[in-house]
Amino acid sequence: MKKYLLLIAVLIVTSCSKDDFGQLGTESKIVVEGWIEEGDYAQVLLSSSIPVTNTIDSTNVLNHVIRSAKITISDGMTSEVLRVKNDKNRVPPFVYYGSVLKGEAGKEYFLKIEYLNRVVEATTKIPRSVAIKSAAYIKKADTDTTGYVFVKFDDPVNEKNYYQIATRIEGQEPVFVPAFYGNLDDKNFTTAAVSVQINRGILLFPKTKFTPYFADGDLILVKLRTQNKEALDFWNSWQNEIVNSRNPIYPANTSLKSNIKGGIGIWAGYGQSTVVVKTAEKIKPF
């Protein structure tokens, strides 16, 4: 499944600090979570911002979902209007999908959202994909039942790249989740041969208790995405909100970075490479 979900309720809350609401009065902002990957169609989630004083739960998030907007994407030659679908595996469950324009590396994609009397716009470009060389589940000791994933890839020489690594556990997580500290700038690499330990990211409203590691019996999908600087800045600010607030549902004092004109959030193009990692077989109790 080539899907990737930003934890949109985190964005809904953290994107507006108390100062933001003082300036806005009673009017909320349109929150955009949109992306188009190389080889896949565009997807957009749309909501209105939730005041920091409100209770944040799955019901409240659902009340702020926007389901009746007109969303158009274009590559400068061809355009399409996205259709909204109900995906019960997601929070929120309503997603605008494309079915005409498939992402291509090097192309620019324009987003236009029309809702009530508002117009929201953004532009992004898909970087060239970089392939994962290998990904492995490694435990510190053979007797351990948990471990981490180590990913290896070659960073192209003489080419500026920004990366994000995400994972999805088959049967447990409906979408790819950004790995914690999985946003990478190649200026920090000491060699073109990159090896990175992956810690599980935080999924909002998980079905099971969160742990930062993987476990025996997991079937793990690992995705390496190339992204532009705007997306890197957005995801780093999103991660900072989690670190500073110590809880992904509540806001810190700063707002997330955004490339959305007339709203807040992210519209990003990604290159992508995905592999499957099998863990050790889970031992059943007697």
For 62-113, what is each residue's pLDDT tens digit?
666 888 999 999 999 999 999 999 887 776 688 999 999 999 999 999 999 9
Q: Which two tokens stand for residue 255?
A: 């707002």
Mean pLDDT, range 32-53, rounded to an integer: 85
In whole angstroms, give the CA distance from residue 38 to residue 184: 19
In whole angstroms, give the CA distance from residue 252 to residue 51: 13
Q: Which amino acid is at 226?
A: T
Of 41, 45, 46, 43, which Cα lies nearest the Cα of 28? Answer: 46
Q: Indicate the burial class of 269 (C-beta count within 10 angstroms; 0-12, 13-18, 19 or more).
A: buried
Q: Please, where in the chain does CATH 2.60.40 lie?
A: 132-225+274-278
Weakest-pLDDT range from 11-25, 251-265, 271-285: 11-25
Q: What is the pLDDT of residues 224-265, one digit of tens each?
A: 999 999 999 999 988 887 776 644 443 444 567 899 999 988
Q: Is the pLDDT confidence value at 12 over 80?
A: no
Weakest-pLDDT range from 32-36, 56-60, 90-94, 230-234: 56-60
In whole angstroms, give the CA distance from residue 135 to residue 279: 11
Looking at the DSSP assignment, which residues form a beta bridge with residue 124?
109
Torsion of CA 247, 248, 249, 255, to 10 degrees: 110
Contacts 24+ apart (CB under 8 A), 51-55: 51/16, 51/21, 52/13, 52/16, 52/17, 52/18, 52/21, 52/250, 52/251
Q: Which fold has domain 132-225+274-278?
A: Immunoglobulin-like (2.60.40)
- The larger pLDDT score, comparing residue 16 to residue 278, is at 278
